[in-house]
Amino acid sequence: MSVLSKRKFPRQLEDEAIYIIREVAAQFDRPALLFSGGKDSITLVRLAQKAFYPARIPFPLLHIDTGHNFPETIEFRDQLAKELHLNMEVRYVQDSINQGKVKEETGKYASRNALQTVTLLDAIEELKLDACIGGARRDEEKARAKERIFSVRDEFGQWDAKRQRPELFDILNGKINVGENVRVFPISNWTELDVWNYIREEGIGIPSVYYAHEREIIERDGMIWPYSEFLHTTPDEIVQRRVVRFRTVGDMTCTAAVESYANNIDGIIEEILSAVISERGARIDDKRSEAAMEKRKQEGYF
């Protein structure tokens, strides 16, 4: 193991995140934690546990299930909720499709990833949420780097960079107008490496898709796509078996794999330190356009 990979997690970041989560509980009436089953939202659950220990987390978790998730992620979600006695609210994109609110995409690149924005905004309205805690980090993607810790969304759930408030020192302003809500990012100042070091030091469990394993894939546009019943393949695309892992966990139709033999946390950290592509470089949805993430956020995405 290299010297760099042995660096400890800076605990000041944990203190900051716990402070932010406690501020959410103090300033808002109906918060929730957005849970995807990925490493970042799993980290948020551990931070929320610490923020309110020995009491339980005083707000629900909200998962928007596209129906095209990795089965391993759904299994992990349900097990975590059971073990920690979490109040897990799940809303389904399939319901939004059945209600005619969104239309299933068709063709080779069809994905439900963008459709989940409507399901999320409906859930926020239904549950009357005024704050949603998310696991986005500034180092992930340039649109996310623009957001404040308390990111104000208008009555339609939309984000406007020009309407964001300055955050001076550690002052977090949770005052919102009727109909508005706030997305809160407690680990905004963390890096991907910080998250993995924290998971290692805390001994936090994660879904098996993060570890190298053999699975069916296809190669498309220079990327490794996980093969599934949801992926629309063409006759020239050959299903292969390859040892891979995933750096992010999203919808199966928009998350590419990387070839890897990292089957434990130390191996993953070593791999990140020598990686030549960014974490979001394996996200197919980010490659739809130069400003794909910013456009989704303006529409109300996570």
In this prediction, residues 113-124 reach a mean pLDDT of 94
Nearest to 205 by CA among 120, 123, 265: 265
Read off the pLDDT of residues 169-224 as tens digits, 9 standing for 90 and up: 888 999 999 989 999 999 999 999 999 999 999 999 999 999 999 999 999 999 99
What per-residue string of b and e applies to 222-252 under the rule 16 or more CB within 10 Å gives b?
A: ebbbbbeebbeeeeeeeeeeeebbbbbbbbb
Nearest to 301 by CA among 151, 164, 174, 176: 151
d(CA 253, CA 114): 11
Q: Does residue 55 register a pLDDT over 80?
A: yes
Q: What are phi and psi of 17, to 5 degrees?
A: -65, -40
31 forms bridges with which residues in the sheet?
Answer: 131
Determine the pLDDT at residue 274. Answer: 84
Read off the pLDDT of residues 236-282 as tens digits, 9 standing for 90 and up: 999 999 999 999 888 899 899 999 999 999 999 999 888 767 666 66
Nearest to 89 by CA among 129, 38, 43: 129
pLDDT category of residue 112 using cuts at 50, 70 and 90: very high
Reading the block at residue 106, the tokens are 């068709």
**Measured CA distances, 80 to 84, 86, 194, 289 (Å):** 6, 8, 22, 35
Percent of the chain with pLDDT over 90: 74
Read off the pLDDT of residues 67-96 as tens digits, 9 standing for 90 and up: 999 999 999 999 999 999 999 999 999 999
Cβ–Cβ under 8 Å, residues 198 and 187: no
Q: Where are the alpha helices (DSSP H) in the chain?
A: 11-27, 39-52, 71-84, 93-98, 116-126, 142-145, 192-202, 265-273, 292-298
Which residue in this structure is represented by tokens 């919808």?
Answer: 251
Name 241's Cβ contacts closer than 8 Å, sequence gap at least 6. Answer: 214, 215, 216, 217
Residue 63, phi-psi category: left (phi > 0), alpha (psi -120 to 50), beta (remainder):
beta
Among the listed ranges 10-14, 162-166, 245-249, 280-284, which one has the minimum average pLDDT value?
Answer: 280-284
Q: Does residue 50 register a pLDDT over 90?
A: yes
34 forms bridges with which residues in the sheet?
Answer: 62
Q: Indicate the angle between helix axes 39-52 and 71-84, nearest 10 degrees.
A: 10
Determine the pLDDT at residue 220. Answer: 94
Determine the pLDDT at residue 147. Answer: 85
In this prediction, residues 143-158 reach a mean pLDDT of 87
